Each structure stands twice: as C-alpha cells, then as structure tokens.
Amino acid sequence: MSEPSRDELRRLVGRRWRIGAVLTAVMMIAYFGFIFVVAFAKPTAGELVAGGRVSLGIVIGASVIVLAPVLTAIYVRWANRHYDPAVKALREKGAP
Amino acid sequence: MTTTSLGEPNGVAIAWFLGFVAITLGITWWAARRTRTANDFFAAGGNVSAVQNGFALAGDYMSAASFLGIAGLVSKSGFDGLIYSVGWLVGWPVITFLIAEPLRNLGKYTFADAVAFRLRQRPVRIAAAGSTLAVVTIYLIAQMVGAGGLIHLLFGLPYKAAITLVGAVMLLYVLFGGMIATTWVQIIKAGLLLVGATLLAVLVLSKFGWNPLELFAEARRQYGDGVLAPGDLVAQPLEVVSLGIALMFGTAGLPHILMRFYTVPDAQTARRSVAYATSLIGFFYLVTFVLGFGASVLVGRDAIKSVDKGYNMAAPLLAEVLGGTGFLGFISAVAFATILAVVAGLTLSGAAALAHDLWGHVIRRGEITEREQLRVARAATIGLALLAIVLGIVFQGQNVAFMVGLAFAIAASANFPALLLSMMWRRFTTRGAVASMVTGTVSSLLLITLSPTVWKDLLGNPEAVIPLKNPGIITVPLAFVVAIVVSLIWPEPEAAQGFTDAHDRMHLGAS
C-alpha cells in the first residue's frame, strides 16, 4: 500500500473510532444517567407524570431502550454512506 | 384466578414442542449434509445474511431467564425490572460501534483469532480459551439449572429428565448440524419468542384501550405508587452501577455472541446484523415490561407467587388467563425452545475454543487437517453436552441466579479489554493480553466467591469479605490497567510491527 493511501486509511479509521467512541459515550451517559437517577434521586424517578399514569423513571428507562437501536441506526447509516465507499475507493487504489 | 393447568401435561404444549423439535431436527439433518469443513461447522460457511444473523444473535441472547425472569420480576416489583431490561440491552450498541467490524475482518472462528492476530499465538489462545470456557461453563450451569426447574413447572417433567432431554436434543443440533443448524434453531426460536411475546402483549393492551399508560395506572391503583417507582433493587446504588458495568461490557465479550460475526460474509453485513439484533432485543424488552405489568394486574401477584415463589411463571400464567390452555401450551413450548437454542449456542462456542484454539493452535500449532479439526470439534461437543447435563444435575436446587451476572463479569473483564486493546492499541503485547485475561477471569471468580451471594448465603459465613454482589466495577478497570501497565513495562516490537498489517486487514477486509 502506498504512503498517501496509508495516511488516508489512517485518517478514515481514526474517524470511525472517534464516531464509535462518541456514540459509545452517549450510550454510557444515557444508561448510567438512568441508573444514577434511579439510585440517587429516587423521588425524581418515582415522580408521577401524564395524569399520574406513569412515572418519570419508566419514561426515562423506556427512552434509553429506544435510544440503543436509534444510535445504532445512526452509526450504520453513516458507515454505509460514507465509510464503506471511502474504504472501497482505497481498496481499488491499491489494495494491500 | 384460583386454578391453573400449569405443570400438568398439556396437549397443546407437547404438540408445539414436538413440532419444534421435529422441524429443528429436520433442519439439523439438512444442515449435517452441508457441514463438510471446519468453516461450515464453526461459521456456517460464512453465508448467513444480515437479517438472518440479526435474528440468530437475538435468539442467542434472549434467554428464558430474560423472558420468564424479567416478566416475573416486573410482575413482582414493577419498575425495578426495567433496570435489568435496560442493562441487558445497552451492551449491544457497544458491539456495533467498537467490536463487530474489526472482529469480522480479523478472525476466523473465535474471538481469540482477533486477539492473537499479531501476538504470540499459544499463550494468548490458552488464556482466551480459559476465559471462554469459564464463561461458557458458568452460563451453561445457570441455563441448565433454570431449564430443569422451568420445565418441571411448565410440563411437570421431573428435573433430571428435563435436564437430560435438553442436553440430548442440543447435542444433536450441534454435533451433526454445527453452526448451520444452530443458526436456524436460533432464528426459529427468536421468531417464535417474538411472536408469542408480542401476541401476549397485544392481548394485554387490548384490555386497556391499547394504551400502556392505562395499564400502568391500573397497576398503581392495585398496588400503590411504589409499583411505578424504584424499590428494593437499588437499596445499594454501587451494586447497581457495578452490575451495570458488567452487563454493558460483558455483552461485548460473550464468546457465543462474538462467534456469530464470523457467520456473515463481510464487515458490512456484520454491522447491519447487529443493528437488526439491537432493534429486536430492544423491542423484546419493552414487550416484556408490558407482560410483567399485565401479569401483576390480570393474574395478580398472589396467584403468581402461589405457583412459583420466584415469580418465574408470570408470563405463562398471563397466557393462560388471556388465551386459555392452548395459549399457555404455546408459550410453554416457546420457553422450552428458548432454553434449547441458548445452550446450543453456548456449547458450540465452547467447542470452538477447545477444538480451534486449544487443539488446533496450541497442541497442533496451526498445522491441522480439516478432518482432524472436525473430529476434535465433535468430540468436544459431546464432552461439553455431558458436562452440561452433569453440572445441571449437580447444581439442582442451588440458587444459580448470580451465575449469569458472574458470566457477564468474566466476559466484561477477561474478554472485552483484551479484545478492544488488540484492535486499537499498537503497543499492546502478548504479555499484556495474557495478564489482562487471566486477571479478569481470576479476579471475577475470586471476588464473587468473597461476595455476599457466595461467601455469606451459599457458604454460610456470617459476613461477606467483599460487600459487592457483582465485581464488575473493580474487575473491568483492573483488567484494563493490568493490560496497559504490563504492555508498557515489557514492550514487544514484533507485535507493534504486526499492527500495521492487522490495521489494514481490520479495516479494508481480508481479501
């Protein structure tokens, strides 16, 4: 593999790890945020909303469950649209 | 409700169950004729599609413990069950973002392939096989003991007969059909479980004007505000955080899950397959939450508890109340199929560690014929199936609930740090990997032995040495620190040089 292509691959891979790390961090913050609310702010988690029919804790927990596939979909969309074509171009330029 | 036909032989359940076994054994027969090479046996020839692998991943992961156990926990304590559901799911995005694609490009059959790619093969393989077998054995014990108890409750079959039946049918799948049969068993099981749980949830919601809020409101009316609020589970916040760390990073270190990424043709398919799996599993946990509340409101806590003190029968009882004996039979058969599929996946990943990592790379140093590899894999499968049956019988009546948490703790601390660092960090070394995997395995086992669950409750000591029930908060950071410190103290220039090669392959693909 030529030096310019290698630099380009490094930049591309660096971008993928950064996006992966940011999305992982978002998932962790959401999840541990939920746990901290449940553990350290019990009254907040138990607070009733929607006319007393549901608690804030249930709303937050269900949102974290929904967030997981949403973040995954965001990543897959980015990777399919930007990452894969760039990798393909690099492979065609000079596959190792 | 005062009477239930649960635990009595149920014609519909037996018919559904026999149908499931007949179809899956038929598939096994078909798969056996297509299983000619080790690649077929361990990786289904690499021909599984994204949707198929998505369902199979979900099938491998959604155990009877999460279906019956979480529905039961929600019916018993309401909100608290949600803490588990969320925890079981959040590891999946981590697999997508960090692990799935490089793993697919770097390895062949086991996650040790990826860790050992540019490191010295034998020490890494021995350590990885050790942690894999620890995770698989402990997870198998939890599944088998759970299976024996559940099948006894569902069908009235004696415990030992149930264990032997599960072990025998699972052995047929894996021994003859390898990964091809196991994949289809997972797909069918995931489909049945999702259909069954969704139907049940639809029936529940039909009673509440299709509005989950009305269901929660009714639960609150019957059981008070507490049902919607955090309860006993979070008496010790640190405990919940520690379990959370084990669940989040343990999912990305489970050998039977990681192995599934080799069944797809390329990294892009691997990525898409985890996305499908994450959606299916997330949907499943939302449905389970509805089932738990539905059971507490429509069956009633006292009725659930009178059948099983552990509340595990909440979902089957709900099915009986809403759909009669026939629906109960269907849900019972689905739970049985769920158990079979999960133990099949676990056994296959244990066989891969034994035949591919230990026999193929450590004993034969990579010089092994297809024939021999297959023969050893099948012998390992038989050994593991017998082990599963024996352990299931030995641990009868023991409280094994903590073992699932322990399996996740080992996976999170022994497998995840070494796997991630081998992919990301140029200066990672053989010694660093081995030290990290050994530390992760040993420290998890040691700390759980000294924990309240084992030291106090199981061994009868007055006080636990370590107050934590799950060691994740200590062992995961410890494994990372050990890996980094050891790698920095003893550098390995060959491993660093090999990183460039690994890097290209990880991201550009193998060919």
pLDDT tens, position by position, B41-96? 999 999 999 999 999 999 999 988 788 889 999 999 999 889 889 999 999 999 99
Confidence (pTM) = 0.95
Question: What letter would DSSP give residue B491?
Answer: -
What value does the mean pLDDT take over residues B94-108? 94
pLDDT tens, position by position, B349-402? 999 999 999 999 999 998 899 899 999 999 999 999 999 999 999 988 877 778
Question: Are residues B96 and B252 in contact, defined by beta-carbon separation less than 8 angstroms?
Answer: no
Residue ranges in chain A whose pLDDT is less than 70: 1, 94-96
Q: CA–CA separation, B277 vs B343, rounded Å?
A: 19
Q: CA–CA separation, B279 vs B238, rounded Å?
A: 29
Within 480-509 of B, beta carbons closer than 8 Å to A belong to 501, 503-505, 507-509
Chain B interface, best mutation among A53, A71, A80, A90, by max B CB count within 10 A: A53
Q: What CA dihedral angle connects B6, B12, B17 and B18, to 10 degrees?
A: 140
Using a CB-CB distance cutoff of 8 angstroms, which residues of chain A are in contact with residue B419? Answer: none
Chain B interface, best mutation among A9, A16, A27, by max B CB count within 10 A: A27
The answer to whether A46 contacts B228, with C-beta atoms less than 8 Å apart, is yes
Q: Give the HSE-up count for residue B196: Cα atoms under 13 Å, Cβ half-sphere.
A: 29
* Strands in B43-104 per DSSP E: none
Note the ipTM here.
0.94
Q: CA–CA separation, B330 vs B326, rounded Å?
A: 6
Classify burial at A51, counting beta carbons within 10 Å of its beta carbon; exposed 0-12, middle 13-18, buried 19 or more.
Answer: exposed
Q: Which domain holds residue A61?
A: 3-94
Domain total for chain A?
1
- CA quadruple A5, A9, A10, A14: dihedral sign: positive
Using a CB-CB distance cutoff of 8 angstroms, which residues of chain B are in contact with residue A53? Answer: 213-214, 216-217, 220
The answer to whether A64 contacts B509, with C-beta atoms less than 8 Å apart, is no
Q: CA–CA separation, B99 vs B105, rounded Å?
A: 10
Closest CA to B33 of B183, B181, B186: B181
Using a CB-CB distance cutoff of 8 angstroms, which residues of chain B are in contact with residue A16? Answer: 507
The answer to whether B289 contacts A48, with C-beta atoms less than 8 Å apart, is no
**Nearest CB to A65; choose among B89, B212, B248:** B89
Q: CA–CA separation, B240 vs B67, rounded Å?
A: 21
| pLDDT confidence bin for B510, thresholds 50/70/90 | low
Q: Is the pLDDT reported for residue B8 higher than 80?
A: no
Residue whose token pair is 């894969």: A84
3-state secondary structure B19-54: HHHHHHHHHHHHHHHHCCCHHHHHHHHHCCCHHHHH
- Strand A48-49 to strand A54-55: parallel, antiparallel, or no bridges (unpaired)? antiparallel
Chain B interface, best mutation among A6, A26, A38, by max B CB count within 10 A: A38
Q: CA–CA separation, B421 vs B429, rounded Å?
A: 9
Given this model, what pLDDT does residue B1 score? 46
The answer to whether B508 contacts A91, with C-beta atoms less than 8 Å apart, is yes
Q: Is the pLDDT reported for residue B9 higher than 50?
A: yes
What value does the mean pLDDT take over residues B233-253? 88
Using a CB-CB distance cutoff of 8 angstroms, which residues of chain B are in contact with residue A90? Answer: 508
Using a CB-CB distance cutoff of 8 angstroms, which residues of chain B are in contact with residue A75? Answer: 93, 96-97, 271
Chain B interface, best mutation among A11, A58, A60, by max B CB count within 10 A: A58
**Shortest CA gap A53–chain B (Å):** 4
- For residue A94, what are the contacts with CB-CB under 8 A and spacing of at least 6? A1, A2, A5
Q: According to the CATH classification, is domain B11-508 in 1.20.1730.10? A: yes
